[in-house]
Structure 1
């Protein structure tokens, strides 16, 4: 009986406990729910979408200490709202009475002459100082003083928000402190040389290359290994020639290099003969080192060594790095913790070898173990990287801006294969395509059709001229034609559709109305009607036959990165006038194929319209001439190859009717083109046009065989 009572009591207590847990626990749980507005905010979601104006800067100041460099990220220290349309860069006006260093002037000129530049700060995504910040060594003659006070007087400084600070040298003797710029750069992005991995703000700062004062503003010298990368093993296996520091930062590394020197295949020569007081501080090895140093020519060592040692100097970076790249000498890096230039996008494992300062004596065994195949790959990659990103200040600055652009929301990002292969990211617009085969660098274009773009400027209504009618008919007969696009830039209205030749069923016909007042460059616009890779550019008075068109297209398919066509011209250097000359004389070589009758890849329309400097477009607009020369400059600049001429045709235009006015009859036309040639060379910074004496003709062309055996039977019947 007692057991039964205890059992019933246990059941009752259990039910009571369960009831309490259900009802009381529910109320307890409800009473402990915190309203969202009372929760601490750890991440400001609005900041991730971009901060605006002074309000955004004030919020950032309250949340981050500007001296804490490691805390800045694009999401927390950058106003994305200023960059919604495009990446535009504003350069502050130069202060009166100040003259930046020659290197910084080159850098500013590159920006102000580029497509990135805007003169309106309201349109700017980025701001660049006119005050020289490249050299922050107090002992340097290029050191700019009172920067802190001068920065606060800038109308858009905003604690450095959306500013880019360029710097090559920081710190001063004896410590050369890496992060000491001698002013508070606030929330600005640092594009800085010789940064260490421990100090760089990953994804915010840009690792900048160290370059000489004589580094070219534009153009630049190509790599020394242009086409022949042999012999693989050069006269010396490893070489270095440079300063040795007998005391202070950086001395440990260079003072130990003599252990690697064997005077046979490993040449390590240093000198302590530098600085004002080197004699007072020299050690017992200095005199012998100086003698060995004078035995070797630096350029001979550089170009005759398989590997070049790049040890740290006073700072982590060294001039030797870019010098080795240009020479095709594989860099062996001896600078622990150095964040290599543009390593955010460049895969340096394909072009350089790392060594450890603490394990110097292991360097010979490391490089001797590198296989011949890898030596070849490293050497070739060094040339690609040098040519595309480091050979001029222009390319260095553009690479910096493109790295920042790819960090912006809703911007297309190019993958590593684009950055690290030809033609390089600076020449690959992701807005065009993200497929490699769509670009002219492809070895062979599978697309078996082309689009003809005929530029009409002199025609008059109510019907096309006889020459234009005949040209359209000949183009429409081609076995490879897909579309015909008439760019009507005449002052007269467009002829009605029934006035044009009847098109075959497989050919689309389009007329694009363009104002006669527009620039002549409109013929190279990337029209939506162009669906094929190949574009046949024609003037309205061109007189090509169908066979000539078909043969030129077949040639272009094998050379899709070139301009392939009929009318050829040449450039030359005139010593008497110290200018570039332009000639249409029939000679054994040429450097220009005019786009009045030529094939090229449609991607060049995009680059011509969106990529070229506004100064180049302005030159064409003012002269209403030279657009064809500019297109040749563009293609040769990208490919570093000449155009290709096909067959022997000299004439490619109709003879003008008596009394008619043609720009080719204008006496000023030739003078304008020569002026354009020199202006383009000045803006490009060098002469990209290359000479060629190659001409491609059909098989059996003009051979004494039956005409029935020839594929292009009517070509040799063309009068010239």
Structure 2
């Protein structure tokens, strides 16, 4: 308004000035009728003075106008600045309110954690848990009572085993292996030699026999000389693995007479002198030297029903004295089997004993007549031949399978036992087995060969596991390789930079989030100061702290759950990235993990030829350990090595070019905690039949059979199986093609669990922005993966992959809620 008034006054004064300037000055001209009369001198002077004043006032007003305009511009700037400050203050207020809500939630979680810890402490105090100290010495076994028990045939771990030689406080090694170097080709020597390779340094075998806890001795052809080297008070496992049952029977009687407390590990176990829980039934000679040879020789598991229902029955030990005294009932059983061979019910019975003939039969009968030994060399050979041929063992009578007290649950799923009296109903009873049941019986028989019976190494590992379980001591710790650092020698520390968190609880509410902790099976037990100081001189504390390698079905006491208010807080997650000369992409992937709940540590497997650039600034993950490890060679199998730095059960295998939201990872991890024996991930694929083989397909369909490990959770136990249990030929095929390691892991898990993987959310592919190279952009990629499926199916004996139509999303996904309700996950 002021500026408008000044402008109007300025205009008026300007008009006055223009009129003053236009006034005529000459007085000689004649006045016209329309021209005003000239002014007098005094009036003219007055008029001119007024005009000058008006011009001065006009100049002043113009100066005032310019000053007011400048002031208004300044005030407008100040107003704009104040408005910006108001907006910034409002944003800051919103951030403060959001932080206040987050701090309140964290405080509430901390309060809950503190209350849970207090409850756990109170429970521990009520149970009076003792602090771990060095155990007292075990009293020596009274030899007199042990001999009396042994002579009566009642020898057991409580009566005949001297635990004083195996105390935790002793420095004695656990095992000593005793066999002759000249008899290195005997079965017992081969088994003990394989055992020596499996034993770690803490169970060294290069010690005196008298200083060991348990002696495994080959007492075959030179039993006298071998037993003379073993003191009478020593815990002895006598390996009696002779090629003939008659010789084993004579040596067994002499061995028990001389050493009644000895554990007899033999293929020949008579029914009268066999001591259950003490003597060990051994398998027949291992048919293969390596796991690769075994897997390549095993027949396929399909079809379920073969051309012949039964193979010809074998009567173990037919030349023995007890066979000449066979009972009438057993002769009737044999006659009935021979009648079935000629009947129309079972018209295709093979009479050959070779593996090709056994491979054509669905069932492989083994007759154990009454009064026969519980285990004979012929019976164990026949049982192993049946498994090698892929035929289901059918035991008629009482026969003990090898390592029965350890493998009995697995034997129940691999063999069929029937009373001899039901031989007349045999054809109808066997017809009740469905195809699915036959395949499961055959699959468990194959697992017995692969894990326990097929090679000398497998038999030795099973024997050591059985002995460790009888001793009540943990087996050797399953420790993975310790990878060397991928950094340069002079590059001792990473350049770390702070990155903003990509997780916002106001956008994706997750509820209570437990802290990242080591898995319970990896946590050290409590120990006193005296134990900690003395562990450097004795191995007792190390033996007590050694933990068994966890499996997906491991059971943990409820008190070990941390925090206790969370039901499934048994395990936490680890990120395992495979990088190949793409540092910028890797930095972006790592930055996405900043602030991720449950994150325990990050392990980057560096698979490139050159080390990381020392000038690269890596993201600081907020105190989460970041390890760079160089793999042994350029191999995709390095992804699944069970590195010793892994301290959790859950492993998230993640490619360096995969960018994922944190709410997706959290949802997948929570799904995995409820299905720890499966692969839980995002990109899914399937296989389809094409002619006589299989093809790999990545199209979106209604079902899938694989979850790619480029972004998937799996149990650390499967890393051990992949790296140390699978035959080397399978991993060599992965190295040859530089492909298919994820398919092989899916084959492995499906083979072990017979369960399909689980897909989470709707993600099907992962576009990599900024990636200039990829291992999967080659045109031959799909052909190679189809070849892998067919190759793996041949090695496993069947296609282990299982189809699934299940996808896991959050409970309230696509559910409309009111404004007063909050979803656990907003976008998944």
Q: What's the counterpart of residue 804 of structure 2?
A: 692
For 1:583 and 1:166, the matched residues in 2 are separated by 53
Q: What's the counterpart of residue 825 of structure 2?
A: 712
Q: Is the 8 Å Cα contact of residues 241 and 269 (structure 1) preserved in structure 2?
A: no
CA-to-aligned-CA distance 1:507-563 (integer Å, 9 cap, x gap): 222222347x52121121212221111011111111210000000000000011111
Classify the secondary structure of the residue corresponding to 2:665.
helix
For 2:463 and 2:715, the matched residues in 1 are separated by 30
**Structural mapping, 1:47-58, within 5 Å:** 57=183
Classify the secondary structure of the residue corresponding to 1:207.
coil
The structure-2 alpha-carbon separation of the partners of 1:222 and 1:254, relative to structure 1 and needing over 3 Å to count, comes to: farther
Tell me if 1:431 matches 2:478: yes
Q: What's the counterpart of residue 63 of structure 1?
A: none
Q: Is the 8 Å Cα contact of residues 389 and 395 (structure 1) preserved in structure 2?
A: no
Q: What's the counterpart of residue 754 of structure 2?
A: 640
For 2:441 and 2:773, the matched residues in 1 are separated by 50
Match of 1:473 among 557, 581, 591: 591
**Structural mapping, 1:155-304, within 5 Å:** 196=270, 206-208=282-284, 217-218=297-298, 221=301, 250=323, 255-256=328-329, 270-271=335-336, 273=338, 294=344
Q: What's the counterpart of residue 441 of structure 1?
A: 553
The structure-2 alpha-carbon separation of the partners of 1:199 and 1:609, relative to structure 1 and needing over 3 Å to count, comes to: same
**Structural mapping, 1:396-415, within 5 Å:** 397-398=453-454, 401-405=457-461, 413=467, 415=469
Q: Is the 8 Å Cα contact of residues 472 and 501 (structure 1) preserved in structure 2?
A: yes
Larger Rg: 2
For 1:241 and 1:53, the matched residues in 2 are separated by 40
Q: Is the 8 Å Cα contact of residues 703 and 804 (structure 2) preserved in structure 1?
A: yes
Classify the secondary structure of the residue corresponding to 2:787.
helix
- CA drift of 1:389 comes to 4.7
Q: Is the 8 Å Cα contact of residues 572 and 599 (structure 2) preserved in structure 1?
A: yes
Q: What's the counterpart of residue 622 of structure 2?
A: 504
Classify the secondary structure of the residue corresponding to 2:756.
coil
For 2:343 and 2:470, the matched residues in 1 are separated by 41
Worse-matched range after superposition: 646-655 or 290-299: 290-299
For 2:731 and 2:470, the matched residues in 1 are separated by 31
The structure-2 alpha-carbon separation of the partners of 1:178 and 1:593, relative to structure 1 and needing over 3 Å to count, comes to: same
- CA drift of 1:503 comes to 1.5
The structure-2 alpha-carbon separation of the partners of 1:478 and 1:490, relative to structure 1 and needing over 3 Å to count, comes to: same
Q: What's the counterpart of residue 450 of structure 1?
A: 573
Q: Is the 8 Å Cα contact of residues 49 and 80 (structure 1) preserved in structure 2?
A: no
- CA drift of 1:670 comes to 1.9
Tell me if 1:548 matches 2:639: no
**Structural mapping, 1:569-584, within 5 Å:** 569-575=685-691, 578-584=692-698
Tell me if 1:626 matches 2:682: no
For 2:439 and 2:242, the matched residues in 1 are separated by 25
Classify the secondary structure of the residue corresponding to 2:620.
coil
The structure-2 alpha-carbon separation of the partners of 1:49 and 1:694, relative to structure 1 and needing over 3 Å to count, comes to: closer
For 2:301 and 2:405, the matched residues in 1 are separated by 25
Classify the secondary structure of the residue corresponding to 2:817.
coil
Q: Is the 8 Å Cα contact of residues 311 and 333 (structure 1) preserved in structure 2?
A: yes
The structure-2 alpha-carbon separation of the partners of 1:455 and 1:504, relative to structure 1 and needing over 3 Å to count, comes to: same
RMSD (Å), alpha carbons: 5.8
TM-score (structure 2 length as normaliser): 0.47
For 1:356 and 1:510, the matched residues in 2 are separated by 60
For 1:257 and 1:205, the matched residues in 2 are separated by 24
CA-to-aligned-CA distance 1:5-50 (integer Å, 9 cap, x gap): xxxxxxxxxxxxxxxxxxxxxxxxxxxxxxxxxxxxxxxxxxx955
CA-to-aligned-CA distance 1:186-245 (integer Å, 9 cap, x gap): xxxx9997875689999798234999xxx9953764999xxxxxxxxxxxxxxx997999
Tell me if 1:341 matches 2:405: no
CA-to-aligned-CA distance 1:403-434 (integer Å, 9 cap, x gap): 334557xx89553799xxxxxx9xx9863588
For 1:404 and 1:512, the matched residues in 2 are separated by 33
**Structural mapping, 1:4-19, within 5 Å:** none
The structure-2 alpha-carbon separation of the partners of 1:482 and 1:208, relative to structure 1 and needing over 3 Å to count, comes to: same
The structure-2 alpha-carbon separation of the partners of 1:688 and 1:347, relative to structure 1 and needing over 3 Å to count, comes to: closer
For 2:240 and 2:296, the matched residues in 1 are separated by 22
For 2:784 and 2:386, the matched residues in 1 are separated by 40
- CA drift of 1:617 comes to 1.5
CA-to-aligned-CA distance 1:433-482 (integer Å, 9 cap, x gap): 8867821123796424211111111404xxx33xx334323323221111
For 1:191 and 1:675, the matched residues in 2 are separated by 45
Q: Is the 8 Å Cα contact of residues 684 and 706 (structure 2) preserved in structure 1?
A: yes
Tell me if 1:557 matches 2:712: no
Q: Is the 8 Å Cα contact of residues 533 and 602 (structure 1) preserved in structure 2?
A: yes
Q: Is the 8 Å Cα contact of residues 313 and 367 (structure 2) preserved in structure 1?
A: no
Q: Is the 8 Å Cα contact of residues 588 and 693 (structure 1) preserved in structure 2?
A: yes
The structure-2 alpha-carbon separation of the partners of 1:538 and 1:574, relative to structure 1 and needing over 3 Å to count, comes to: same
- CA drift of 1:620 comes to 1.4
Q: What's the counterpart of residue 699 of structure 2?
A: 585
**Structural mapping, 1:297-446, within 5 Å:** 311-312=368-369, 317=379, 333-334=397-398, 338-343=399-404, 345-347=406-408, 351=412, 387-389=443-445, 394=450, 397-398=453-454, 401-405=457-461, 413=467, 415=469, 431=478, 438-442=550-554, 446=569
The structure-2 alpha-carbon separation of the partners of 1:538 and 1:417, relative to structure 1 and needing over 3 Å to count, comes to: farther
Classify the secondary structure of the residue corresponding to 1:500.
strand
Q: Is the 8 Å Cα contact of residues 734 and 741 (structure 2) preserved in structure 1?
A: yes
For 1:78 and 1:355, the matched residues in 2 are separated by 35
TM-score (structure 1 length as normaliser): 0.53
Classify the secondary structure of the residue corresponding to 2:666.
helix
Q: What's the counterpart of residue 615 of structure 1?
A: 729
The structure-2 alpha-carbon separation of the partners of 1:178 and 1:644, relative to structure 1 and needing over 3 Å to count, comes to: same
For 1:670 and 1:331, the matched residues in 2 are separated by 46
Classify the secondary structure of the residue corresponding to 1:475.
coil
For 2:578 and 2:799, the matched residues in 1 are separated by 28
For 2:704 and 2:476, the matched residues in 1 are separated by 30
Q: Is the 8 Å Cα contact of residues 606 and 631 (structure 2) preserved in structure 1?
A: yes
Worse-matched range after superposition: 530-539 or 701-710: 701-710
The structure-2 alpha-carbon separation of the partners of 1:349 and 1:614, relative to structure 1 and needing over 3 Å to count, comes to: closer
The structure-2 alpha-carbon separation of the partners of 1:480 and 1:291, relative to structure 1 and needing over 3 Å to count, comes to: closer
For 1:417 and 1:574, the matched residues in 2 are separated by 53
Higher helix share: 2
Q: Is the 8 Å Cα contact of residues 678 and 757 (structure 2) preserved in structure 1?
A: yes
The structure-2 alpha-carbon separation of the partners of 1:440 and 1:204, relative to structure 1 and needing over 3 Å to count, comes to: closer
Q: What's the counterpart of residue 115 of structure 1?
A: none
For 1:649 and 1:453, the matched residues in 2 are separated by 20
The structure-2 alpha-carbon separation of the partners of 1:242 and 1:80, relative to structure 1 and needing over 3 Å to count, comes to: closer
For 2:191 and 2:471, the matched residues in 1 are separated by 30
Match of 2:607 among 480, 489, 514: 489
For 1:407 and 1:531, the matched residues in 2 are separated by 28
For 1:603 and 1:343, the matched residues in 2 are separated by 25
Tell me if 1:528 matches 2:648: no
For 2:393 and 2:449, the matched residues in 1 are separated by 21
